[in-house]
Amino acid sequence: MDYRKLGRSDVEVSRVIFGAWAIGGWMWGGSDDDDAVAAINKAIDVGINTIDTAPVYGFGHSERLVGEAIKGRRDEVVIATKCGIRWDREDGHRPFETEDRDGTRRVVVRNLKADAILEEVEQSLERLGVDCIDLYQCHWPDPTTPIAETMEALNLLIEQGKVRAVGVSNFSVEMIKEALKHGPVASDQPLYNMLDRGIEDELLPYCDRADVGVICYSPLHQGLLTGAVTMEREFKEGDQRRRKPWFQPANRRRVIEFLDKLQPIAETHGKTLAQIAINWCLSQRGVTSAIVGARTPRQVIENAGGAGWRLSDEEIGQIRKWLEELNGPITAD
């Protein structure tokens, strides 16, 4: 496994990061807790030193599972979690209703106010069973709270030793620039994969120039780029992929045809399609790491194989040509 420093911080992360959203059970259907703990430990065993979670992933469940898995191994891992999405406070931006993993109705809001962050970090520390979070990230922008106020709270947490480095997620270039006026920002966490390349025009080049790390999420487009999602695959109610545009039959067929073109490149390297998709992200200038979810040790092993090697420039160029051909309009159903 390869490792890189995250921006200008002293936090060193593995190029493949364990994504702990799916194990929380929210928006992904069910997940076996024993398998999840085993998967996290397998990740550490194979050199994936960074685990990315969030309070809202299962409404605390993901953080608790991570805390259980790392008992006795804290010195081997970098813990990245988030703040700013609450289900236990009514004050916040863009409220929406959703269901917990057990069917409990929840109202979720965005809240990056200083008092909310200082309250939330204590909850995460307790669930994780740690006294310091390595990377604490704003989960989504909260336009009702000045970024200066948010950064003041995050800077205080660094001073108190509760957080090592601060990051953001889903922030625009202008938002990152504003945050940097008020304190260090080690990283941004944007959506990025072969099918979602919107950050290439502005955000990736800016972060590269500003020495802000980029840890992209969903490099496999929620499993679609693994080749395992066939035309026959159906998604249960509660699985967000059920309504995602690229998962609709007409669009899914186009992706499968694209993956058929990728297969010879995968065979040349002795890699799977998933590993090709991960490595493609890691090969892009400005990308520090890729967050890849896993529910089982087997999936972890495959994800780890996405790092430690590199597609050739010719292969990257060919893949881009195929992606441009794929880039037509996507249908809603």
- Local confidence pLDDT in tens for the 333 residues of the chain: 899 999 999 999 999 999 998 887 655 555 788 888 999 999 999 999 999 999 988 888 899 999 999 999 999 999 999 999 888 877 767 666 666 666 777 778 889 999 999 999 999 999 999 999 999 999 999 999 999 999 999 999 999 999 999 999 999 999 999 999 999 999 999 999 999 899 999 999 999 999 999 999 999 988 889 887 776 666 666 666 767 777 777 888 888 889 999 999 999 999 999 999 999 999 999 999 999 988 899 999 999 999 999 999 999 999 999 998 877 545 444
Expressed as residue numbers, the domain containing 81 is 3-224+284-309
Rounded-to-integer distance, Cα 179 and Cα 324, Å: 34
Rounded to 5 degrees, φ, ψ at 13 are -115, 150
Pairing of strands 93-99, 105-110: antiparallel
220 to each of 6, 44, 85, 216, 299, how far by Cα in Å? 22, 21, 24, 11, 12
In a domain, residue 305? The reply is yes
User: DSSP 3-state assignment of 166?
Assistant: strand
234: in domain: no
Of 177, 159, 160, nearest to 168 by C-alpha is 177
Q: Identify whether 108 is part of a domain.
A: yes
**Nearest to residue 27, comparing CAs of 51, 52, 59?**
59
The pair of three-digit structure tokens given for residue 143, joined into one six-digit string:
């336009």
Of 283, 285, 289, 293, nearest to 315 by C-alpha is 283
What's residue 245's pLDDT?
76
Q: What pLDDT is recorded for position 100?
A: 67
Contact (CB, 8 A) for 194 and 216? no
For position 227, what pLDDT does the model report?
Answer: 81
- H or E segment at 217? strand 213-217
Q: Are strands 12-14 and 3-5 parallel, antiparallel or unpaired?
A: antiparallel
Number of helices followed by number of strands (H, E) in the chain: 10, 13
Q: Is residue 243 part of a domain?
A: no
Q: So what's the pLDDT on residue 160?
A: 97
pLDDT of residue 248: 73
The catalytic residues are 57
pLDDT at site 229: 75
* 281 Rama sector, left if φ>0, alpha if ψ -120 to 50, beta otherwise: alpha
- What integer pLDDT is reported at residue 252 of this predicted model? 82
Cβ–Cβ under 8 Å, residues 159 and 129: no
Is 278 among the domain residues? no
At 333 the pLDDT is 43
Q: How many other C-beta atoms lie within 10 A of the C-beta of residue 156?
A: 16
- Domain for residue 145, yes or no? yes
What residue type is 197 in one-letter code? R
Residue 253 falls inside a structural domain: no
- Structurally, how many domains does the chain consist of? 1
Which DSSP string corresponds to 224-279? GGGT---TT----TT-GGGG-GGGSHHHHHHHHHHHHHHHHHHHHHT--HHHHHHH
Question: Where residue 197 sits, what CATH number does that domain have?
Answer: 3.20.20.100
Instruction: Judge whether 175 lies within some domain.
Output: yes
Nearest to 49 by CA among 81, 75, 22, 71: 75
| pLDDT of res. 332 | 44
